[in-house]
């Protein structure tokens, strides 16, 4: 089975008409990986400048190595494999800072006004022998500069890989120590099929006590019960993906009762093979059940997508009415990892800005 990366051309006329509106409206992305946000042109330039050993220096020939393409079979492990080559591109401080800056600039260009960008210091540092603390500081400096240059607010989340528990405590300490510099949370991501949360419980509970927020990738590829485990054992306040909750009524009820937001990434869910086709995506069913769902990009460059594309996917493919897309943006504002006063201001700002879009016919 193959999947077309950007099926938006196949959407109906009504959806195509929505593109300018969705592009221009202010949006929030809560689930975007820095390591999946690299421009192909930047990859080629970094490879050329720093002598990264690659099969090709051409952006178009690099594409199938680092991006899901039309003839790729949708598969969770195939999707994760794209990240392995990317680790070779973080070849200098300048490269890391450039990639972080451009990730924020690209989000701002898509009219994202609030972004939570997650990054894995191990992925950015290990191949080159960089210090994890240094890499975190480079990302902080670059995102601060990008915020000054573009009309966007950014907060950072430190991501821990499930297959690298040996680094968990060190990464949590890096995040805790930099809460005054824009790091607001911890994330656990990666292969949830082969790597359970057992080795991470103490670290996440400690980080919560130190003031960090927690979001966990759960029930993306693994079973629905992983969501309950993420909430009960790791203190998850939000769930990354969570689409397999649709298989368990009790888990859907838990999400609704506790009002745990889901960070939904439609294109990614197709490319990992977790959803066979967009019309079967549970995003709108979750919404109708009262679960606070949000729309996000996951990995813009790997998936060749933008948040505007994701909203169009949700609307034209998964059947979410436009007014409910606007409500999902409000859900995202309410789920932001910000102090209550800042969060209230963010919610109010978006409510005011989105009012004109809700009132206009679509």
- Of 35, 220, 237, 263, which is the active-site residue? 220
- Strand 27-33 relative to strand 112-119, pairing: parallel
**Burial degree of 359 (CB within 10 A; 0-12, 13-18, 19+):** exposed
CB-based contacts of 240, cutoff 8 Å, min separation 6:
31, 187, 189, 215, 216, 217, 218, 220, 263
Task: Find residue 241's DSSP bridge partners.
Answer: 218
Query: Which run of H or of E encompasses 282?
Result: none
- Determine the Cα–Cα distance for residues 18 and 312; give it in Å rounded to an integer: 8
Q: Is 220 a catalytic residue?
A: yes
CB-based contacts of 328, cutoff 8 Å, min separation 6:
287, 293, 294, 295, 314, 320
- Determine the Cα–Cα distance for residues 341 and 322; give it in Å rounded to an integer: 28
Buried residues in 4-31 as b, exposed as e (16+ CB within 10 A): ebebbeebeeebeebbeebbebbbbbbb
Alpha helices in the chain (DSSP H): 13-24, 40-50, 59-66, 76-86, 93-109, 121-125, 132-149, 168-177, 201-209, 225-234, 249-258, 266-271, 283-288, 300-303, 307-312, 322-334, 340-359
CB-based contacts of 118, cutoff 8 Å, min separation 6:
31, 32, 33, 34, 156, 157, 158, 159, 185, 187, 189
- Determine the Cα–Cα distance for residues 83 and 93; give it in Å rounded to an integer: 19
- Determine the Cα–Cα distance for residues 70 and 67; give it in Å rounded to an integer: 10
Catalytic amino acids?
220
């Amino acid at each position: 089975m193959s999947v077309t990366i950007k099926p938006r051309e196949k959407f109906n006329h009504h959806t195509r008409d929505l593109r300018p509106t969705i592009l221009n409206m202010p949006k929030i992305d809560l689930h975007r990986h820095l390591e999946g946000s690299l421009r192909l042109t930047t990859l080629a330039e970094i490879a050329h400048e720093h002598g990264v050993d690659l099969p090709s220096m051409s952006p178009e020939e690099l594409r199938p190595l680092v991006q899901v393409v039309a003839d790729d079979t949708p598969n969770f492990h195939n999707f994760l494999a794209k990240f392995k080559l990317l680790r070779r591109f973080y070849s200098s401080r300048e490269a890391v800072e450039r990639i972080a800056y451009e990730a924020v600039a690209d989000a701002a260009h898509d009219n994202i006004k609030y972004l939570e960008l997650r990054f894995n210091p191990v992925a950015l540092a290990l191949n080159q022998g960089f210090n994890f603390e240094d890499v975190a500081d480079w990302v902080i400096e670059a995102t601060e500069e990008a915020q000054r240059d573009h009309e966007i607010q950014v907060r950072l989340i430190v991501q821990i890989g499930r297959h690298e528990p040996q680094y968990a405590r060190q990464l949590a300490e890096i995040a805790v120590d930099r809460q005054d510099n824009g790091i607001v949370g911890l994330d656990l991501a990666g292969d949830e099929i082969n790597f359970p949360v057992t080795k991470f419980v103490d670290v996440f509970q400690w980080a919560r006590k130190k003031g960090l927020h927690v979001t966990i990738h759960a029930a993306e590829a693994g079973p629905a019960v992983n969501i309950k485990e993420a909430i009960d054992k790791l203190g998850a306040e939000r769930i990354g993906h969570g689409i397999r909750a649709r298989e368990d009524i009790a888990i859907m009820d838990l999400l609704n009762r506790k009002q745990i937001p889901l960070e939904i990434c439609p294109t990614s869910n197709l490319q990992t093979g977790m959803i066979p086709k967009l019309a079967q995506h549970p995003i709108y069913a979750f919404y109708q059940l009262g679960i606070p769902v949000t729309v996000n990009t996951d990995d813009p460059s790997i998936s060749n997508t933008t948040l505007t594309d994701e909203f169009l996917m949700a609307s034209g493919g998964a059947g979410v009415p436009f007014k409910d897309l606007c409500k999902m943006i409000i859900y995202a504002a309410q789920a932001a990892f910000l102090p209550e006063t800042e969060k209230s201001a963010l919610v109010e700002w978006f409510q005011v800005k989105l009012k004109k879009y809700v009132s206009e016919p679509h």
